[in-house]
Every structure is written in C-alpha cells, then in structure tokens.
DNA sequence: ATCGTATATCTTGTAATGCAAGGTAAATTT
DNA sequence: AAATTTACCTTGCATTACAAGATATACGAT
C-alpha cells in the first residue's frame, strides 16, 4: 500500500482544477502539483494523462513558443472538462466524508 | 474517471480502520462499508483484499461457526496492521490537504 | 427428502492507471 | 560543438477494483 495507489483517479481531478485556474503546459503542471504538496510527479504520469483527457475532450491544447526550449503545449478546459471538474468535486467530497467517518470512529487523537 | 479509481489504495486503510474497532468477517465488512457511505462493495473486491492483507501480515483470521450459513472467517489486526493503519492516516491526511488546497483555489462555493 | 433462499467464502479474468526508464528535440550557455 | 535546461512523448510493468461465476453451509417450505 503506497501513496501512488491512493492517487488513482484523483490526480485527474486535481489537474482539471489547476487548468481551470488558467491554462498550463505539462512541464509546468508537474511543478504546480508539487507546490500543492503532492510528491513529485513523474512526466510519465502527466503527459499520458493530459493526452487521455484531450482524447476524452475534457481539455484542448495549443502550441506556443517558449522563451527557452521547445514549444509548450498549453491546455485549457472544455465545457465538458468544466462539468467533469464539478462532478469530481462532488465525488471527492463524498469520498472524503466516508473515509473520515470511518477513521474518526477510532479516537485517533484527542477527546 | 470513476469513483472506483479513486478508491485504489484507500479501501485498504478503511478496512484496517474498521477491523481496528473490532474483528469482522468479510461479508459483514461489505455491509459496514456501505453504512459508512461507500458505494456497495463487491465481494470480488473484499475477499482478495483481505487475503492480500493477511499475506502481508497486517491481519490474522480465525474461523468461527455462524448461526446461519457456513463458517465465518473473522479478521483482526496484527501489530504490523496497527502500524499500517497509523501510516495510512498520515498519508490520507496529507492527500486530503493537498487535494483540498488545489480545489479551493477556485472559489467553489461561498466567499 | 428436496428445493429454494440467505448466508458466507473464494477464483478468474479484465480494465484502469501511476510511474520508472528511456527517447527526442529546441534554445541558451560555456 | 558540447553541455545544460527546458519541454514533450512512448513503452512496459505493477497494482488493484470489480464483474462474473463457483462452491458450500444452514434453514424453512413444499
């Protein structure tokens, strides 16, 4: 049981949320996720995921020149992506509630 | 993106937490998880998971007669299982914090 | 007795997905 | 021109939730 397993299906939503703020490119996304406290994200995770989301029409991409390096592929949310984000939030809150109610049954600290 | 993917690596911890309260058998566990608000749990999920956890020496099992039906296999936590539970709680809280900080960046309701 | 139902466990195969490892390429610096 | 940094992509593996199906025990009704 590792942290990586806990992320399955959750990174998707987090990435949608980050793109929702403003368009980002993959390489930048990895850095942003780390800032939010996630363990460093492999590019082998992020790029396939972005491509999958584009295939599912949750995001669109446009290439833009970089000041240093090859072109950046910027992603933004589609309407469908916005909806998916909202649904993710609902699912996440539900999951969070269930897990916390299981965990707090045992007096895990004070009280 | 479905709820089931979000559960990967999380059910483990929830099951440890439930067994921590008091010993349970698999069939009962499925019902308990539903009570906590999880979507119904397949037995194809629970039994393999319990066996895996026993293999990893997180739980032990003992057979007991049932009033109606075949023998029940009751599971309880080992010391290692207790430790794993504590570690899960730490990981869960960390994950929760990260995901929520990503999500709340967008004003998802009030304020 | 036998059949159906509820209880209880296990096995097999499939799909999803995080990620390590490796590859390609462009721009800047040395 | 060689190295470094930025940036993207691909392949293959390991993990795991779950549907579907098999097996077995106890009890009540026919």
Domain ranges of chain B: 3-103
The helices-and-strands tally (H runs, E runs) of chain A is 5, 3
Residues (7-66, chain B) with CB within 7 Å of strand D atoms: 7-12, 39, 41-45, 48-49, 52, 65-66
How much is the average pLDDT of B96-108? 80
Q: Is the confidence at residue A105, as pLDDT, over 80?
A: no
Protein B65 CA to nucleic acid C17 C1', in Å? Answer: 41
Q: Which pLDDT score is estimated for B108?
A: 45
Confidence of residue B39 (pLDDT cuts 50, 70, 90): confident
Q: Which pLDDT score is estimated for A25?
A: 96
Protein B6 CA to nucleic acid C5 C1', in Å? Answer: 35
Pick the range with the lowest mean pLDDT from A2-6, A71-75, B10-14.
A2-6
Q: Is the confidence at residue B106, as pLDDT, over 60?
A: no
Handedness of CA A13, A15, A18, A19 (dihedral sign): negative
Q: Is the confidence at residue B14, as pLDDT, over 50?
A: yes
Q: Which pLDDT score is estimated for A39?
A: 81
B90 interfaces chain A, CB cutoff of 8 Å? no
The residue whose two tokens read 């004003």 is B107
Six token digits for residue A23: 């368009």
**How many other CB atoms sit within 10 Å of the CB of residue A75?**
24
Q: Which pLDDT score is estimated for B111?
A: 35
Q: Is the confidence at residue A28, as pLDDT, over 60?
A: yes
Chain A hits for B84, Cβ within 8 Å? 1
B27 interfaces chain A, CB cutoff of 8 Å? no
Q: Does domain B3-103 have CATH number 1.10.10.10?
A: yes
Chain A hits for B3, Cβ within 8 Å? 9, 91, 94-95
How much is the average pLDDT of A84-96? 94
Q: Do residues A55 and A32 lie in contact, with contact meaning Cβ atoms separated by under 8 Å?
A: no
- C-alpha torsion B84→B104→A8→A4, nearest 10: -50
Q: Spelled out in words, what is the top-level CATH class assigned to the domain A3-100? A: mainly alpha
Confidence of residue B68 (pLDDT cuts 50, 70, 90): confident
């Amino acid at each position: 049981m590792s942290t990586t397993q806990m992320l399955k299906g959750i990174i998707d939503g987090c990435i949608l949320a980050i793109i929702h703020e403003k368009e980002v490119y993959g390489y930048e996304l990895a850095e942003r996720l780390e800032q939010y406290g996630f363990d460093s994200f492999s590019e082998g995770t992020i790029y396939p995921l972005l491509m999958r989301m584009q295939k599912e029409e949750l995001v669109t991409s446009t290439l833009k020149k970089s000041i240093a390096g090859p072109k950046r592929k910027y992603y933004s949310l589609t309407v469908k992506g916005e909806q998916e984000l909202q649904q993710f939030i609902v699912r996440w809150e539900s999951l969070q509630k269930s897990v916390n109610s299981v965990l707090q049954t045992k007096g895990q600290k004070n009280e």
